[in-house]
Chain A
Amino acid sequence: MYRLTSISKNRGVFNSILNYQRRSISYTLPAIPALDNLKISKGEYKGLLSNKAVNELWFERGGKIVEDLNKLLERKSITAPADLNELITLTFNKPDLQDIYTQASSLHNLQFAFESIRPNEDPEAQASVKVCDVDDLLKAPSIAESFPNEPTDPELIDWITSSFGSISEFRTLLLNSANSIKGDGMVWLVAQAAYSESTLKRNYLGSNNQQEFKYSNLAVMNTYNAGIVDDSLRSGQITKLKQQKEAKIASLRKKIEEKKSSAADGAVSTLEEEGMLSTLESDAANQNDFTLGTLEEAEAATLFSDRKLLPLLAIDASMRNYLIDYGIFGKQQYLENLWNCIDWDVVLQRAPTRFKKSFEMD
């Protein structure tokens, strides 16, 4: 999926002398034919973006992300895996690699969003790519029940209908979720696994591949900045940090007791450790507050119940996407045009086999 430039140095003689054993992998901007063609033809992305916008959003921004990513990888001399998804999985819960994670997932999200859409060939569509003004904020929302570019595959329609009620309800939810993102972010249509990952692990002992997951439900979710959809592996960090702190306290306490028991041999000062212990303990005690929930509770509450989520469709709701062609008042128009550009064939390809539960278990 990602083109890879792999420069293997001619090892051998130099190896022993220079200790030069580096295989440098650098990422390049992925090829998306629809966009690459526009660069040559200088045409617009029909029904959605001008040529200038495509150039800035994909070639310049994408190029910059790739460049920054490669620089970071080189600086930290990290041998990156060939697959960008693997790089994200490797970095998403490591605080010291957060800058790499950020660039990698930004690139992934950008590519995923552009691969979810195709130009809208409707000759009238181009007229709707225009700068909006303040009055467009006051427009009454449409109450239509059917819209252009609805999915046509009967199974997909059935799945969407049973998950959201109807296609138009799904469309409203998708676009309103996008509208509610004020900073940078994406809206995703995801397939949600029927059982949580921990349940699966318990039952199938480590068999953790895609085939094992049964996807029963579709859902709409938002991610912000460089957030990724499948967050379940990342979550639990806060709880882990708390456990680390508790372990620290326990080991300090043990140390003090050991010193005290050996104090008979000589005057060993335990003051320093006791000071550290009391500050750590006061921190820990603070977390047992009944009026305001703890961080761990907050984390547990926002988890997607550690269920595997598979992204099917992404919509980029960040301001930069519409500012160039639609102006500051044009988000709604941009989103409506974006709906008309959704490539349902791609969504269908990404969709897993639907799993129908015969009864609800959890």
Chain B
Amino acid sequence: MFRRQANIARKVFLSAKRSIHEVPSLKNEDIFSKNGIEGLYSPKGFKLAWSDYQKYLTTNLTLQTNGTENELRSAYQILLHTAKQTTEQHTFHFASQAHNNHLFFQQLDDKSRASNTRPSRFLMERLADQDITSMEALRDRLLTESDSFTGQGWLFLVELPDKSLKFLRCENDGTPYYYGKNQSLDLNGGIDEASYDKLNELNQKAANREKDFTLPILAINAWSPAYIEDYGVTGRSKYLENVWSCINWDVVNKRLFQL
């Protein structure tokens, strides 16, 4: 009889699970936190951009989701669940940022190692459809797009359902997974016809309840914490150049759909 009760107690205990969001561990994290990322971050710079910032995001995510329906979900699931909910945007912010920043740091490596990797032929073929035919062209496109944010933002290279590739600019905490929260437009100042049409297109998509199957394969972080320590407030361009030379393309190649 006692045993049965203990069993019940254990069952209750097991079902009352809570999850706490922790900073995920990176490959080579020990080396990075000791030496920084060669060619990109000092140890202090790495600490702010990854260890501290990710800790900040995951702690806040835990605080925001504790005791809610999102308690047991991963950051990725939370961002999908909250993207459409206007009252859940604080939670969305932390989930989306935590996910994006993880995606970004997974693809970084020391310059010496990263320089041995190249985008796969398959990837370059897909990019050729976007008029990007060489590494230089890809670099130029990536750097101009990611350095054009007025404020904070993310630049993604995304794969669409038809397997074509496209660059996607996300202002602030925008996510590539849902068109309604891409946040590609900054509506301060004058609004041109292209932005107006884009807005109408989004409105139409949402009215038709269209689904979004976009997947990011490359993320570039243009947020202040990613560069302020090593490059200063005005050092974004220099930082982005260095990011380019520290991308481990092996990671990116693997994210692309392959037969």
Contact = CB atoms under 8 A, between A and B. Distances in A.
A55 to B, nearest CB: 9
A289 interface: yes
| Contact size range, B | 35 or more
A344 interface: no
Q: Which of A60, A94, A228, A241 has the most CB of B within 10 A?
A: A241
B22 interface: no
Contacts, number: 133
A294 B53 contact: no
Contacts of A153: none
B172 A183 contact: yes
B224 A318 contact: yes
A265 to B, nearest CB: 36
Interface string A165-187: 00000000000000010111100
B101 to A, nearest CB: 12
Contacts of A97: 190
Contacts of A318: 151, 224
Interface string B6-39: 0000000000000000000000000000000000
| Interface size range on A against B | 35 or more
B191 A95 contact: yes
Contacts of A286: 200, 203-204, 207
B190 A91 contact: yes
A107 B130 CA distance: 36
Contacts of B60: 137
A137 B59 contact: yes
B159 interface: no
Interface stretch (B106-114, B117-125, B227-235, B245-253): B227-235
A241 B173 contact: no
B206 interface: yes
Interface string B166-191: 00000111000000000000101111
Contacts of A60: 232-234
24 contacts: A93-B190, A95-B195, A96-B190, A96-B192, A97-B190, A102-B188, A105-B189, A137-B60, A182-B93, A183-B152, A184-B150, A184-B152, A234-B189, A237-B190, A241-B196, A283-B200, A286-B200, A287-B203, A291-B207, A295-B196, A318-B151, A323-B224, A324-B228, A329-B52
Given A64-B234, A96-B190, A328-B53, 11 more contacts: A60-B232, A92-B190, A98-B189, A102-B189, A183-B171, A225-B150, A244-B193, A286-B200, A319-B224, A319-B228, A323-B48
Interface of A: 56-57, 60-61, 64, 91-98, 101-102, 105-106, 134, 137, 180, 182-185, 223-228, 234, 237-238, 241-242, 244, 283, 286-287, 289, 291-292, 294-295, 318-320, 323-324, 327-329
